[in-house]
Each structure stands twice: as C-alpha cells, then as structure tokens.
Structure 1
C-alpha cells in the first residue's frame, strides 16, 4: 500500500504534488522579485526626472559657496513641471534620438540669487551650475568688477575673486549695459575670476548670453556629501548644508 500511495501522488514528469507546489511557489517569488525591481527602477526614474537629481561639483567656479567634490541635490520641482520630450543630440558625428525634459507650467519664478542647474546654451548636452544675478527685463552692467542691476550696485558677499583661468580668455572686468530678454536669466559663478558664464558665452554666440528659463533643470538646495580630493578626506561639516 505504501508503494501504491506513493505512485498515486506522482504527477507527470515524476514530481510529487508537493514538489509541483514548491516549483509554483518559487516561480511566484521570482516574479514578485522581478516586479519589485521594475517598480523600483521606474520610481527612481520618476524621481530623477521630475523631483530630485544628484549632481557633483567638478570645478571651482562657485567657490566658496560650492567646493570641488561637493555632492548636492537639485530640486527639479522648484519652478514647475519637467515634461519629457523627444530630442536629438550629436554623438560621434551622428544625430541620435533621446529624451530630455523642459520646464513647463511654471508656478515658482526664478529669483535673483538662486543657484540653478541648467543646460549650457552653447552645448545642451552639458549641465552647468551658476547663480542667477539678473532676470528677464533687468538691466545689467559690470564696471571694474562691480555688478550693477537696474542701476544699483549689488551686494557681493557671496562673490570672490581668486584664480585667473577662464578658458584662456582675459578676465572680463567690464560688461554691458545689457538688458536680459524676457523668460531668460543672466548667470555668473561666485568665483568671478574663474567662472565661464554669461559674460563669456556671447563671445561664442551673441544669442546665447543668457539661459532660457525652459532650459533650467532645477534649483540646488542641499549638500549631502563632500569629498576633498586634495586632502583625501571627507568634509563632514558640509553634510546637509543648505545651499544659499
């Protein structure tokens, strides 16, 4: 009887019913794992596209506000909804399709003093980070390193003047007067003597002196990690610093 009972429990393929249940359970667990991974990837892509994105500071153009090796988060929800759109880029001389986001349905206006991440006007495949010093309609004038907005000198407590390398160009001490077009911003690095910014971009293309608001990716708001590569040490004091 024992042998008969065992034979009755067999299913095609020589596996018992309990064995078959075990296989189904493993398949169910594998499917759940795959689904969880897919959901996590989609959620991460959603957050990166519409809400937050991490950036690393590669140069000294924003010193002393932002240091080389600072890792920061950019709020992509600050000024409006980032809408994904099909676009084309040139890769190794070939036009390649890809998706990018553009700012639409703006509910928060860009303000003077905001530190923003945006697409570089002369090469939209590159992201830059600078401080907004003038917005649409503003008249800007730089005279002997003093920045005037609408005829008034601005406070320069955030600006420093150190270093002397700006793409091989001589440092621009005087600029303007220039009126910022509507829906565009004029940006500069806090390290005025070592920042390639709106003062210089017009030398490449006069139409690209300023940044279109639609090309802004978001507002930098917090440093979550910082590494000093010169001293090979962590800058613990900069953790969770709010960017101003």
Structure 2
C-alpha cells in the first residue's frame, strides 16, 4: 500500500508543478483552457482516490483486483470531470481564481498526506486485515490490525539492509511477511500465493531442526510445550514416518516444493529439516487449518515486514497482540 500512496503523491505533486508552470506562462486565462484543466484535476484526483480505495477494500496485498469497483470508480471520475468541464467554461474571472485556489489546496494536501503516509507505512506502521482462520483464535477473520515495522529494524529502501532494531525476532513472535514465492507460477496450498501477505507465529530459528509428529511441533529433538493459543481438532492423524532421503527432502522444502509431493500429510508428519541461515519456521495457531512452513518452506528474513502489534477493529476485538 505504501508504494501506491507514494505513486499517488508523486502524481499530485507533478500536477501541482505543471499547474504552476501553466500559470506562469498565462496558459489558463481563457475559459476553455481553464475548463479542461479543472476537468483534468477532478479526473486525476478522483481516479487516485479510487485506485487507493480499490486496494484498501480488496482485502490485502496479492488479492485479485476488484475490477467492477475500479470501473465504477473511473465512470464516476469521468462524470465529475465532465461536470467540471462544463462548470469551468461558464466561470467568471473571480470564480476561476476561487476554483483554482481550492483545487491547488486539495492537490497540495493530497501529495503531502500521501508522502507522509507512505513514509510512515514504509518505516513504522502498516495496516493489515486477517483473511483466513489460520491464526484463530489469537486473530480471527476480519480483524484489522497494525503491524509494527520498526521493531525489527528500519529497512533501507530498495535494499535488504536494516538498522536500528530494538527487538530481535524470537520464537513466539507473530509476524507479517510477504509470501516467499519466486514468481506467480509457484503453487502452494492449492494455488499461487505470490505477492500475498501472511501472518504466522515463529516456531523455530535459523539452525534449528524442526519436526512435526502427530501434528505437534518438535524443535531440536524436543516436543514444544503446548500453549494456550494453540488450536487442534480431534482428527485421525497420519503417523510420523522417517524420510529416506533427508537431503532431497530438505532441498524440496527450501525450494518451496515439498507440499506438491506430500500434500496434506505434512500437517501431521513433517521433517526433520534444518532452518536455513537468515530464515525462520512459522506456523499458524490453528494448527490443523494453517498453510504454513510445513507446506511451503522457510520464511526468509528479508520477507518479514514486521511484528503484529494491535487489533484496532472491530471494537469488541481491540487488544494488544501476544
């Protein structure tokens, strides 16, 4: 979302600079030129609003774009632009000055707010919506939460470099991360997860050996103590079985291909694998209904956006996330 807000801010800033240039050259003195300028402004600012809202209402990164909303939004923008065109052609000199002043104030407000919001969302806080039941009942479908992106360090734009971390990633942390897919052709958990944001809980750290036996996670040869947040169903379990070729198994897991071979069996019988350097093993709290590291592999450090922090909506669900 921060990239979209930044793009909108750049568009409105460019429009403002172009308007100042036209004013300097006295290109907006006639009713016709002014009317087209005002119509362009209305179309651009409303289209930018539709562009942002379409993704906000769509449910998250990587989700299919809602084309019907986008089309209706563009139609609305065109309608307002036509109205602005007709209004501009009838405007007096005083009216033109008032309209232009108001338009430029809106343009300045939008690009300034867009720049500030994109910086805040890139470095500090991002909004996220829970799309599935994989973290139930810690987080349930429809929860709106804030993600603390600064807690694990600020990321230098367009790089993997981070600095200023005041907390290290540790087992038990609930993280939000971009799914580790190389391209859209990669299939995991029944489809392409490319570009989507996931939320899971850290189970194991780099260098740890992980197994799942009868649905329960084991780390470094020891079964993890059952926690209050873990949810299991009364299911018939796949018995744990030792793999013959551990090296091939490890490679398939690191390449995010293991679930294409073993499928749902990985829910109950998994491993052993060694978590690679700069990567983590993550699982959903709803252990029997979670598409997680058992199926699609390790979470690279650079994919982690931040730590789930605070549920702010709905009102009866407001709480700090633990």
Q: TM-score, normalised by structure 1?
A: 0.69
Whether the aligned pair in 2 keeps the contact of 1:75 and 1:218 (CA below 8 Å) is yes
1:151 corresponds in structure 2 to: 221
* 1:142 aligned residue: 212
Alpha-carbon distance in 1 for matches of 2:137, 2:313:
16
Could you tell me how far apart the structure 1 residues matched to 2:283 and 2:234 are? 15
How far apart, CA to CA, are the structure 1 residues paired with 2:177 and 2:156? 15
Q: Which residue of 1 aligns with 2:112?
A: 39
Shift of 1:69: 0.9
1:8-62 deviation digits (Å, cap 9, x = unpaired): xxxxxxxxxxx99998687556534432221111111111211111111111011
User: What corresponds to 2:290 in structure 1?
Assistant: 195
Distance 2:210 2:164 in 1: 24
- How far apart, CA to CA, are the structure 1 residues paired with 2:266 and 2:231? 14
1:148-204: CA deviations, max 9, x gaps? 22233222222111398x997345212222221111000001111100111111xxx
Q: Which residue of 1 aligns with 2:306?
A: 218
TM-score (norm 2): 0.54
Partner Cα distance (1:106, 1:162) in 2: 41
On the 8 A contact 1:104/1:214 being kept in 2, the answer is no
2:316 match:
237
For 1:88-103, what aligned pairs fall within 5 Å after superposition?
A: 102=160
Q: Which residue of 1 aligns with 2:268?
A: 173
Contact 2:233 2:288 in 1 (8 A): yes
Alpha-carbon separation, structure 1, partners of 2:143 and 2:305:
18
Structure 1 runs not aligned, ≥5 long: 1-18, 86-100, 202-208, 227-235
The answer on 1:110 being equivalent to 2:169 is yes
Aligned to 2:131: 58
Residues 78-97 of structure 1: CA distance to partner in whole angstroms, max 9, x if unpaired? 11113332xxxxxxxxxxxx
Matched, 1:49 2:122: yes
* Larger-Rg structure: 1
Number of aligned residues = 194
- Secondary structure at the aligned position of 1:214 is classed as helix
Structure 1 residue ranges, 4+ long, deviating more than 3 angstroms after superposition? 19-33
Q: Is the 8 A contact 1:103 1:217 kept in 2?
A: no
**Counterpart selection for 1:120 from 179, 182, 195:** 179
